[in-house]
Each structure stands twice: as structure tokens, then as C-alpha cells.
Amino acid sequence: MLDIGWTELLVIGIVALIVVGPKDLPIMFRKLGQITGKMRSMAREFQRALDSAADEAGVRDVARDLKDVTSGKSLGLDGVQDAVKDLRSIDPRAAVRPKPGEAWPRDPETPARPRPETGPATRKLAEKQAAARAEAAAARPATDAAAAPAEGSTPAGPGKGDA
């Protein structure tokens, strides 16, 4: 309904005291209370009229029938609920996990899948990648030797370490 806190009520009361005056303030609050009481009684009467009309129309019976039809038991979901109860008892943290670097254990009843044959394009690509790796490995020692400082010089540069 209305979300009015104590501070808002206090502000309204002070404004009403200033605007209406201290003599007429109790009369105004009494009238305001009577009006809200009448509004509440009218709302209750309206709600009762709607409820009685719904009862006469059989809405409650239809709602009960719909609830019965859509229940889990009438749809045959009892077995699903039982299966879910069984699944809830499984602790996933208790599963066997391989140690780092180890492979997952293979089911002995399942045969290993053979690796598929590679086509000529795949073989050519693999050879090309292997040649590129070999070329990179051959170039690496030459770059390492060039980066190493010359014999007798310091890492700071020639002549700077002599002082």
C-alpha cells in the first residue's frame, strides 16, 4: 500500500498543525479517520462480492480441478522425483580424479579408438611445421652466441669496468 514512515508522518503532522491550526486539527484527523474507515469497509464489501460471484460461477472448483490435473502424480512424474532423490545422494567431490600429469583411467570394457588416417594435406602440413621447428632450433644457438658478451669484457660494456 502506501509506504509512509514515521518521519513522513511527522512532517505531515507539523504542516497540518501550521495550516489547519491547533483548534481544528483534532476535528480534521477525526474526519480523516472516518473517511479511511469508510473506504476500507467499501473495499471489504467489494472483495466479498467478488468472492461470492466466483463461488457461484464455480471458479474454485475449476481451480481445484486444474490443480489436480497438473499435479506431478497425475502426469506420472513420481518416477522422475524418485530419480532426482537418487541423484541428490551422489557426492561429486568424491569422484576419482587423476593426479596431475596422469590421464583419466580408461574403462577396460571400452576399446581404444584407432587414430584416423591422415591425408596428404595433413602430412604435408605436419612436415612443414617440423621443418620450421628444426630451422628455429638451428637458429637459436647462433642468436644465443651473438647475445653473449665477448671474452674479457663486462656486461656494462667495454672500458666501463676498468676504472
Instruction: Please compute the mean of the pLDDT values over residues 74-92 and round it to a whole number.
Output: 71
Q: Does 49 fall in a domain?
A: yes
Q: Does 60 fall in a domain?
A: yes
Contact 161, 154 (CB under 8 A): yes
In angstroms, the CA 96 to CA 150 distance is 56
Q: Give the range among 56-70, 126-140, 147-161 with minimum mean pLDDT.
A: 147-161
Q: Does 138 fall in a domain?
A: no
Residue 141: pLDDT above 90? no
Q: Does 44 fall in a domain?
A: yes
Which range of residues forms the domain containing residue 37?
A: 6-66
Q: Does 40 fall in a domain?
A: yes
Q: Which three cell numbers stand for residue 159?
A: 672500458
Residue 122 confidence (pLDDT) = 87
Q: How many domains does the chain have?
A: 1
Burial of residue 16, with CB atoms counted within 10 A of its CB: 0-12 exposed, 13-18 middle, 19 or more buried: middle
For residues 105, 107, 108 and 111, what is the CA-based torsion angle, rounded to 10 degrees? -110
Name the band, by pLDDT with cuts 50, 70 and 90, for residue 48. Answer: very high
pLDDT in tens, 4-19: 888 998 898 899 889 9
Q: Is the dihedral of CA 80, 81, 86, 89 positive or negative?
A: positive
